[in-house]
Structure 1
């Protein structure tokens, strides 16, 4: 009888753990999905921002750029184009990203001094973007199915009620072993992401700050701050002015052939 009870208890505990694991995975994915979908309908947008690089000694280097994006559909993902305008030695440098459902994003970079467009290979996306703490992978367009999810807990981040979720990249070429994401419980916006390197050590944290609401629907951060805990270097995007929506961009504005014209 004791053996039967023990066996039954083991089965019950195992089954309970399995159901619990499914529930935490499902809840985590549902929350991230809600974050993605609260942005539905933005159509297109453009904004101007600075990229400020700070080395371990506190010295800053500033670059100015414009960013445009175009909303995708059920087949094609969003598209984003970054074009640098200042300083003079960075003018015309461009990064084009095409989000692709159920596949690697396509990224191309135009370097004016070489006068050519270079494809960013999937294995090279762990490289730093123009010497910043952001990698090409960080600037890629996240698709829900590219990760697995585990809900950790309800918590507070600097007094803001938040969900804490573990996110694991499914792509073996990713530069990260896992990420821990904090999502605002009410607004369904990202607050912070911790990135762990392939050895499982905390490498970087990105903070999304100074959110503003546009068109009574779309939350946008005006500061995105990346801190590298291993090198003490920092990088941040700071928006100047406002985001502008519904700019009537088309697919042609985000073609690889247009990169050389963005000077």
Structure 2
């Protein structure tokens, strides 16, 4: 019995180490992220002088086949209240993700153009492109080494865009990602920014099992130039619920204009 158990463990470990970078990336992409999700969000913007601005949001997400529909609304403070953001995150790498931003002061829905997706999302360190999942086919992957992150074994991966189009849309020339070996969650990343010799450091600082789904509860993105921190954004998720009653028709520009 013991020999059989040891053999099973050995074979499992061997299969993990035998995975290619592409296979690891695909498994990370395919991790169950739940469906019909609602949550509250707190976005904390921290400038170079450590001065904070806090924004409250409400977020909704629904799967449509292999695609994902997402909509969020800013609740506070007053200067961003009722701003809405809608995303159609397509799984097909040949199809550009669709994004719209509703600006209440203009009472207008603005479509986010491809060449604007590398710009800052609402003054944060996350870009519009960061608000969607990446298509595995758009990148090459190289396993650099194993590394421990918060006590968990990870694969340290070099991720390189295959085309200038992807670089232009994301704003990143390459990334180094750390993917946990036990659950295939990307828990840390370093992004090389196309312009300005700056780096972005992504780190998931809150990760929980909710309804048997690995769920990010806190994530941060820090922009640095050399050793100097230029800006930092922390996003906290709370009141996370899956399998909610969300109709596909809710994810529309009309809903953006109507608001919560």
Tell me the TM-score range normalised by the shorter chain: 0.7 to 0.9
Q: CA deviation at 1:201?
A: 4.6
Moved over 4 A (4+): 199-202
Name the CA distance, whole Å, in 1 between partners of 2:148 and 2:24: 16
Q: Name which one, 1 or 2, has greater alpha-carbon Rg.
A: 1
The one of 9, 14, 33 equivalent to 2:26 is: 33
Higher mean Cα deviation, 88-97 or 148-157? 148-157
List alignment gaps of at least 5 residues for structure 1: 1-23
The one-character-per-residue Cα deviations of 1:114-147 (angstroms, maximum 9, x if unpaired) are: 0000000000011111111111111123222222
Partner of 1:83: 73
Name the CA distance, whole Å, in 2 between partners of 1:68 and 1:118: 20
Name the CA distance, whole Å, in 2 between partners of 1:260 and 1:65: 16
Partner of 2:255: 258
Name the CA distance, whole Å, in 2 between partners of 1:159 and 1:215: 24
Q: CA deviation at 1:169?
A: 2.5
Partner of 1:220: 215
- What TM-score does the superposition give when structure 2 sets the normalisation length? 0.84
Name the CA distance, whole Å, in 2 between partners of 1:249 and 1:186: 31
Q: CA deviation at 1:202?
A: 5.2
Partner of 1:192: 188
Task: Pick closer, same or farther for the CA change 1:199–1:93 going to 2, 3 Å.
Answer: closer
1:192 counterpart SS class = strand
Aligned residues: 235
Q: CA RMSD in A?
A: 2.0
The one of 78, 82, 88 equivalent to 1:98 is: 88
1:88 counterpart SS class = coil
1:182 counterpart SS class = strand
Aligned 8 A contact 2:57 2:75 in 1: yes
Partner of 1:175: 171
Name the CA distance, whole Å, in 2 between partners of 1:87 and 1:164: 39
- What TM-score does the superposition give when structure 1 sets the normalisation length? 0.84
Partner of 1:12: none
Aligned 8 A contact 2:21 2:142 in 1: yes
Partner of 2:139: 147
The one of 240, 246, 250 equivalent to 1:249 is: 246
The one of 231, 234, 246 equivalent to 1:233 is: 231
1:159 paired to 2:157:
no
Q: CA deviation at 1:151?
A: 1.6
Aligned 8 A contact 2:157 2:177 in 1: yes
Aligned 8 A contact 1:81 1:96 in 2: yes
Partner of 1:17: none
Aligned 8 A contact 1:211 1:222 in 2: yes
Name the CA distance, whole Å, in 2 between partners of 1:246 and 1:159: 32
